[in-house]
Amino acid sequence: MSGNSNDGKSGPTAKAAGAYSLAELLSQPNCWSTCLEQLQASGQAAELRQRFAGADEWLFVGCGSSYYVALSAAATFGLLTGQRARAVPASDVLLYPEMILTAGRKTSPVLISRSGQTSEVLRAAQLLKSRGIPALAVSCAPGQALEKLTAAAIVLAAAEERSMVMTRTFTSMLLSLQALGAEIAGQSGFFDALVRMAGSAGHALKLLPERVGEFVSSHRFDDYVCLGQGPFYGLACECALKTTEMSVSYAQVFHTLEFRHGPKSIVSPETLLIFLLSESGYQAECEVLEEMKALGATTLVITNRADQRARAAADLLVELGLDVPELARLACYPFAVQLLGLYTGLQKGGDPDQPRNLSRVVVLNS
């Protein structure tokens, strides 16, 4: 699918609607490899392990997509390291610090912001600094305010984007934190799995633009629902946000098994249910998929490998087919839904690079 020129002009200077977003989301596997190579070559993960040694818990903080990075990163950290790991929005740190910062517990905060300029994240950094709590910044823009307010920073300049909506910055920041979790857990094999995933993801994802484009062109949906469990819940949140931002559509998110407890009342052929099927919870999640299909749902199913049950219940099935551990595959799951949001936005006549009412950075005046 293609869009019209962003400004109505023709010629070499014209930019097709969504061109930046499309190029950036297609570049993700190469970007992941670059970021992981740089992180490994710099030895930064090992340095950070020493700097934040002895933490009782890890606290991942962000806003919007960066908060959803935090959710998936916290899940990875907890499962890899066995340490307590939580994700909270920056606003909770500011409004309820005593609820978030547990007295007597050595907390290592990780502050996530693509731009390094998000006001609420900066204010959270200032609050932590005032309390003498060293924090780690993760961003994609060097030399910004967040980096200067924290004790250390991971800056993924190779992932920076021109488009307004986060795609490769989301997945690259998640991967960098997964790599850090592997270092802290002493699981070099998991880092190697991330590298293998990045190297093979291009092949696994190469047919998706055409398949998702055809699916979007042949359907019209009133609502979108994204479903995931455990470490996939943060990804489901991001998938819903991408659909909303890029196509100005209404999207909701639920834990997969929670959807049958009331929300299933919205199921219809005009509501697209997006299932992120895990390996560890596959059977239980597949039961929900089958239940919703029997109620008349239209379904997009993303999983590593599907059985006949999932195939029969999926209107569009995306199989990744990656031979790496489940946690090492997380960054691949949003890809199809990023495309869904992009092509739906174009179908509706918008420009996914510049959705209405949005800015690249939320900067508050007061």
DSSP for 145-178 reads HHHHHSSEEEE-GGG--SSSS-SHHHHHHHHHHH
Question: How many CB atoms neighbour CB 87 within 10 A?
Answer: 22
Q: What CATH number does the domain located at 19-200 have?
A: 3.40.50.10490
In whole angstroms, what separates CA 178 from the centre of its chain? 12
Domains 19-200 and 207-347 agree in fold: yes
The 10s digit of each residue's pLDDT in 219-264 is: 999 999 999 999 999 999 999 999 999 999 999 999 999 999 999 9
pLDDT value of residue 358: 67
pLDDT value of residue 4: 39
Question: How many CB atoms neighbour CB 230 within 10 A?
Answer: 17
pTM score: 0.93
pLDDT value of residue 364: 73
* Spatial distance between the Cα atoms of 275 and 288, rounded to a whole number of angstroms: 9
What's the order of all strands across the beta sheet hosting 298-303? Answer: 251-254, 223-227, 271-276, 298-303, 316-319
Angle (CA) 125-129-133 rounded to 5° is: 105
* Fold (topology level) of 207-347: Rossmann fold (3.40.50)
- With a cut of 50, list the residues of the chain below it in pLDDT: 1-12
**Which helix (H) or strand (E) segment is 355 a member of?**
none
Per-domain boundaries in the chain: 19-200, 207-347
